[in-house]
Copies of this chain bind each other. A is one copy, B any other.
Amino acid sequence: MRILVAGGDGFCGWPTALYLSVQGHEVLIVDNFSRRRWDEELGTESLTRISGLDARIARWRELTGREIKTAVGDLAEERFAYEVVAGFRPDALVHFAEQRSAPYSMIDRSHAVFTQVNNVVGTLNLLFAIGEVSPDCHLIKLGTMGEYGTPNIDIEEGYITIEHKGRTDTLPYPKQPGSFYHLSKVHDSHNIMFACRTWGLKATDLNQGVVYNVETGETASDPVLTNRYDYDGIFGTALNRFCAQAANGDQITVYGQGGQTRGFIDIRDTVRCIELAANNPPEPGEFRVFNQFTEQWSVLQLARLVEKVARSLDLEPDLVHLANPRVEKETHYYNAANTRLMDLGLKPHLLDEETVERLLLTAMENRDRIHPETFAPQVDWRRPHYG
């Protein structure tokens, strides 16, 4: 299959591109390196040392004999987006190429506007390009479980059947996203659903949970292929950040009570989910939604797991509660469906002490690269800044 991986230089996109390459697919990575630029803007960097995309691709070719093509540019730019789709004619287009940090989108007005315009326009450009030149292409779009928020009823996979005043319909699941980033994904979902219904496109929206762990079999096979490890307060997600904090002898910082429960997924499962979606495309006109996570954890449970494993490595982290910078419920009902990818054959890597230990060891090996001043949350949800 010819698969375009947009955002293929990033945390999820890079391991996905390699995994798809190993499976024998013809892969084109499209990226504009914005993730690397945001590190420069924020004074953050990956805990692991990562190589440039050209070096990564060259080493992959040396090691495997497999060719991954690249196209460098911005999908929010109209000509570039059209040309990569028209030139490559993908069978599937995996779209990771969005600004994906909730705190980044909440810094101020300009970051909120950038996030929504970048994400929404990039996706619109891809939809029109697919619609005009490649309508059989299967769009595999990364959404987020955060689109749903924390309703007091079970979360289903994209749709819910509602009985109301004696009538029944199956409708898009109501969304209550918690940041301008999460909102951008909700906007995307509505736009894509419309394009499927109106133009007969086929798309899979993967509402992904919080991704933890760093390496896959492919990225771990050579130092030049190493994946990025974000641990800062802007781009680092909970488990990975906790491991970096513990490895550095710092406090593990839980926002608020830590009762916030979310769906989580190991990055080794992310790459499998993408291929499962690609190998099992929806029908033309179908907007299909999978909830892409394998288990639910509360933030406090994760913190305690990291604390326990850290102590077994002779680290002595304190677990502290910070005032929650986000506006979110800290105790709430949460029960989300996630059977559709399992039905396609996903065999989850469930979170265990071994994975946490490996993350801790990686962080300890790279301790000289930790910037502890970037752990703290620096973005306050409650205060709008025009900016």
Which A residues lie at the B interface, using CB under 8 A? 78, 82, 108-110, 112-113, 116-117, 120-121, 124-125, 127-129, 131-133, 151-154, 160, 162-165, 167-169, 171-180, 183, 186-187, 190-191, 193-195, 197-199, 327, 333, 381-387
Between A169, A193, A199, A327, the greatest number of chain B beta carbons within 10 A of the residue's beta carbon is seen for A169
Please tell me if the beta carbons of A169 and B153 are within 8 angstroms of each other in the complex: yes
Which of B124, B128, B172, B195 contacts A176 (CB under 8 A)? Answer: B172
> Chain B residues with Cβ under 8 A from A176's Cβ?
171-172, 193
A-B contact pairs, 7 of them (CB 8 A): A116-B120, A116-B191, A132-B385, A178-B198, A183-B190, A186-B190, A198-B381
User: What residue in chain B is nearest A147 (Cβ atoms)?
Assistant: B190
Number of copies of chain A assembled together: 2
Please tell me if the beta carbons of B190 and A180 are within 8 angstroms of each other in the complex: no
> Chain B residues with Cβ under 8 A from A175's Cβ?
172, 190
> Chain B residues with Cβ under 8 A from A163's Cβ?
153, 163
User: What residue in chain B is nearest A201 (Cβ atoms)?
Assistant: B384
Please tell me if the beta carbons of B183 and A194 are within 8 angstroms of each other in the complex: yes
Complex alpha-carbon distance, A61 and B131, angstroms: 52
> Chain B residues with Cβ under 8 A from A382's Cβ?
198-199
Which of B82, B109, B154, B194 contacts A164 (CB under 8 A)? Answer: B154
> Chain B residues with Cβ under 8 A from A165's Cβ?
153-154
Please tell me if the beta carbons of B174 and A194 are within 8 angstroms of each other in the complex: no
> Chain B residues with Cβ under 8 A from A110's Cβ?
78
> Chain B residues with Cβ under 8 A from A78's Cβ?
109-110, 113, 386
> Chain B residues with Cβ under 8 A from A124's Cβ?
109, 112-113, 116, 180
Q: A128-B385, A172-B174, A199-B384 are in contact. List 14 more A-B contacts (CB 8 A).
A: A78-B110, A108-B128, A112-B124, A116-B120, A116-B124, A117-B120, A132-B384, A132-B385, A153-B163, A154-B165, A160-B162, A172-B175, A173-B174, A174-B174
